[in-house]
C-alpha cells in the first residue's frame, strides 16, 4: 500500500515528499548507484513534490543522458533522480537511504541490471 514518505539531503536544503510503496525497492548495479550505495523507490510525477531546494540541486548525467541524477550542491548528497520510466511517464527515483524514519535493513530489495543499459 502506498504511503507518503518525506526525505531530503544531509544538510536539509533539499526536502521532498512522495507517495510510493516500499514493499519492494530496486538495487541497481550501474556504476553510479553502486558507488553511491543507492537503493531506489519510484514515484510518478504527480506523486512527487519538491518542498524546498530546487536552487540547491545540481544535475549530473552520463551515458545516454536519460536520467537526471540530482544532488545537493552544498552537502553533495544525491537523494533523488528524475527521468522517464520505460512506459514514458515522468518518474522520480528516490534514494531510500535519504528518507526520514526508514530502516533500509527491513526492506526487500530487487536487483536491477542497470549496468546492461
Q: What is the pLDDT of residues 3-35, one digit of tens each?
A: 999 999 999 999 999 999 998 899 999 999 999
Reply yes or no on whether the pLDDT at 1 is more than 70. no
- The CA distance from 88 to 113, in Å, is 19
3-state secondary structure the chain: CCEEEEEECCCCCCEEEEEECCCCEEEECCHHHHHHCCCEEEEEHHHEEEEECHHHEEEECCCCCCCEEEEECCCCCCCEEEEECCCCCEEEEEEHHHECCCCHHHCCEEEECHHHC
3-116: CATH, from 3.90.1150.10, 3.90.870.10, 2.170.150.70, 1.10.3720.10: 2.170.150.70
Residue 107: what pLDDT?
93
Q: What is the pLDDT of residues 47-89, one digit of tens each?
A: 999 999 999 999 999 988 889 999 999 999 999 999 998 899 9
- Sketch the domain layout of the chain as residue ranges: 3-116
Amino acid at each position: 500500500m502506498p504511503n507518503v514518505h518525506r526525505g531530503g539531503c544531509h544538510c536539509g536544503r533539499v526536502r521532498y515528499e512522495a507517495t510510493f510503496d516500499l514493499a519492494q525497492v530496486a538495487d541497481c548495479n550501474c556504476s553510479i548507484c553502486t558507488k553511491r550505495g543507492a537503493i531506489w523507490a519510484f514515484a510518478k510525477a504527480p506523486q512527487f513534490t519538491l518542498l524546498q531546494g530546487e536552487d540547491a540541486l545540481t544535475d549530473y548525467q552520463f551515458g545516454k543522458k536519460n536520467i537526471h541524477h540530482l544532488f545537493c550542491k552544498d552537502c553533495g548528497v544525491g537523494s533523488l533522480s528524475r527521468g522517464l520510466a520505460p512506459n514514458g511517464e515522468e518518474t522520480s527515483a528516490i534514494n531510500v537511504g535519504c528518507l526520514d524514519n526508514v530502516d533500509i535493513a527491513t526492506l526487500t530489495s530487487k536487483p536491477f541490471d542497470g549496468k546492461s543499459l
